[in-house]
Amino acid sequence: MTKFLGLDLGGTNIKICVLESIDGHCKEIEKSTIPTDAENGPEYVVNLLVHIAKQYVLEKYSDISAVGVAVPGIFDHELGEILLFPNLPGNWKHQPMKKPIEDACNRPVSIINDARAFALAEANAGLAKGKSPVACLVLGTGFGGGIIIDGHVHMGSTLGAGEIGHQIVNADGALCGCGAQGCAETLTSAQALSTLAGAKSPEEAYKRAIDGDVQAIHAFSESAKWIGIAIANVMVVLAPELFIIGGGVAQSGDFFLDLIRVEANKRAKLVPENSIQIHAASLGVYAGSIGAALNGAINAGAQFNLISIT
């Protein structure tokens, strides 16, 4: 069996990707999106994931050998249960995720944090291919991250390494959804940016900033400051070849990225001038599902010589 299914669970949509491996070459053969309807609660969402997996494995592609699921939070790696989903409604603590999908489709299931899935995809099939180390940031509802070393997700001793957005950058700052105080996420999330800009959404804030609105420009500058500090911290510890930035907020283009570049480079004094390379993500909104599929494939023992996403 040569195909791998990737499901990326988001608060609004579930992104679906199918990868196929032939003679060590892996390519994308299908992708789609369906609404999550997360307001219906954890059990509904898990049942929806089960339904999708069954549809693809038992009806569409009988040669799918593994399923990967990217999730927006923290989970128990051994039990496959959710521990913390700060941005999805309902009580997700100890909600089974892995076993229901495995039981339904009789395939091995691997779970990965969505930001780590994004990082895995970008480092193996995107702009960062062949680079190491790579640090990936996902800016949107929250501030996710992932570290890639030699093409593999660096999980660390806790299996939770890579939470770039949960650096404490302001010890007296606001309480974060993770329970800590002053995380970078509290200062850079879509909600924080919109509120500071006096806008209803980051998209509105961006339009105002491009039109010269002083309050909106200040909001992006302030967000860029904290992101720049987070990047500078990672740079002096890990010195990645590339920083890749994705997510909804990052789609503000070079306007925002240039602000982040300036902030990061001026704050990292122990590295050569302008050595911090920051680029926008290249795989678009399906990066998480691609990474989920890759993670499922890798955990199932697949090896790839070339990954081509078209």
d(CA 263, CA 187): 15
Q: Are the C-beta atoms of 215 and 222 separated by less than 8 Å?
A: no
d(CA 296, CA 17): 12
Token pair 């957005």 is at which residue? Answer: 165
- Secondary structure element (H or E) that encloses residue 28, with its range: strand 25-35
Q: Which CATH class is domain 127-282?
A: alpha beta
Q: Quick one: tokens of 154?
A: 């660096």
The three-point CA angle 32-52-129 to 5° equals 50
Task: Give the mean pLDDT per block of 10 residues along the chain (310 residues).
Answer: 91 93 83 95 96 95 95 92 88 95 95 95 89 94 92 91 94 90 94 96 94 97 97 96 87 87 94 92 92 92 67
Decide if 3-114+285-308 and 127-282 have a common fold. Answer: yes
Q: What sign does the CA torsion over 92, 95, 98, 102 have?
A: negative
> Beta strands 95-96 and 81-84: pairing type?
antiparallel
Would you kindly state where each structural domain of the chain is located, as residue ranges? 3-114+285-308, 127-282
Taken as a whole, the chain contains a residue count of 310
106: burial class by Cβ within 10 Å (0-12, 13-18, 19+)? exposed
Contacts of 149 (CB under 8 A, 6+ apart): 132, 133, 134
Q: What is the pLDDT of residue 306?
A: 57
Q: What is the pLDDT of residue 302?
A: 74
156-164: long-range contacts at Cβ-Cβ below 8 A with a sequence spacing of 24 or more? Answer: 159/77, 160/74, 160/113, 162/113, 162/115, 162/116, 162/119, 164/135, 164/137, 164/230, 164/231, 164/234
Q: What is the pLDDT of residue 1?
A: 64
> Beta strands 25-35 and 306-308: pairing type?
parallel
DSSP string, 69-124: EEESSEEETTTTEEEE-TTSSS--TTEE-HHHHHHHH-S-EEEEEHHHHHHHHHHH
List the one residue out of 134, 105, 109, 107 whose CA is nearest residue 120.
134
| Gyration radius of the chain's alpha carbons | 19
List the one residue out of 1, 28, 25, 3 whose CA is nearest residue 15.
28
List the one residue out of 35, 94, 45 whose CA is nearest residue 69.
45
Q: What is the pLDDT of residue 141?
A: 84
Q: Quick one: tokens of 275?
A: 């050595």
Q: Which CATH class is domain 3-114+285-308?
A: alpha beta
